[in-house]
């Protein structure tokens, strides 16, 4: 009978192979669990953990809701299943105003919300999409409402030479202010939660 050796193979150790396989398995397991647990996705406050972890860590204490200066955070209703009572942003009512110190995340007593290491730099709370077919500037009218309201300025939303809005995803934090203030019917912007893109 030969001796089984735990040597190197394929450029790594068996232990590393196991870790890689376990990590991949764990990621797939979490994705499957999330599909079963998360019935609906919400635009969460800044610094939120990934959805399943957020649902587990959030105590539904409402500290973040109270701390939000523009009162952009509301509770998911009782019909929200496991998400009931957790904070989310309903931008049609009130968008996040991109507070630099993120008071909602700062007051969280758990790690459900934490201030990102680089603040808003490279961070997003939602995914924004611009739909030019709805924008009144493409119907010959002049409008600067969305660009004037954007807290990130030209780095996220600017006007081109013809006066049409240009969404710059790399600078957009997904706050939803442009969606909230848009005067077009239907709106020229669509805001969706992270994970729905």
Token code pair at residue 130: 């611009």
Token code pair at residue 83: 């998400």
pTM over 0.85: no
Structure confidence at residue 8 (pLDDT): 41
Provide the H-helix boundaries in 38-124. Answer: 51-57, 63-67, 103-106
Domain ranges of the chain: 16-106, 126-193
Structure confidence at residue 195 (pLDDT): 78
| Helix or strand run (H / E) with residue 74 | strand 73-75
Q: Which residues pair with 167 in a beta bridge?
A: 157
Per residue in 89-128, pLDDT (tens digit) is 999 999 999 999 999 999 999 999 999 999 999 999 999 9
Its CATH class, for the domain covering 126-193, is alpha beta
Answer yes or no: are the C-beta atoms of 166 and 160 closer than 8 Å: yes
Structure confidence at residue 40 (pLDDT): 84
Per residue in 50-84, pLDDT (tens digit) is 998 999 999 999 999 999 999 999 999 999 988 99
142 φ, ψ (degrees, to nearest 5): -95, 135
| Helix or strand run (H / E) with residue 24 | helix 14-37
Q: Which of 149, 128, 122 is nearest to 46 (CA)?
A: 122
Q: Which distant-in-sequence residues (6+ apart) come within 8 Å of 18 by Cβ? A: none
Q: Which distant-in-sequence residues (6+ apart) come within 8 Å of 145 by Cβ? A: 181, 182, 183
């Amino acid at each position: 009978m030969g001796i089984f050796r735990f040597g190197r193979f394929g450029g790594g150790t068996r232990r590393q192979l196991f870790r890689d396989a376990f990590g991949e398995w764990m990621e797939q397991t979490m994705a499957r669990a999330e599909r079963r647990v998360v019935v609906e996705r919400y635009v969460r406050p800044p610094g939120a953990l990934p959805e399943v972890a957020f649902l587990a860590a959030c105590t539904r204490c409402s500290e973040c809701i109270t701390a939000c200066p523009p009162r952009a955070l509301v509770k998911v209703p009782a019909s929200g299943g496991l998400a009931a009572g957790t904070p989310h942003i309903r931008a049609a009512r009130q968008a996040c105003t991109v507070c630099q110190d993120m008071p909602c995340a700062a007051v969280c007593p758990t790690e459900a919300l934490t201030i990102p290491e680089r603040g808003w730099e490279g961070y997003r709370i939602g995914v924004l999409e611009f739909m030019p077919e709805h924008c009144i500037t493409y119907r010959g009218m002049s409008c600067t409402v969305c660009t004037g309201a954007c807290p990130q300025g030209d780095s996220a939303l600017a006007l081109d030479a013809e006066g049409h809005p240009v969404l710059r995803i790399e600078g957009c934090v997904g706050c939803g202010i442009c969606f909230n203030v848009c005067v077009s019917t239907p709106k020229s912007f669509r805001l969706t939660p992270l994970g729905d893109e």
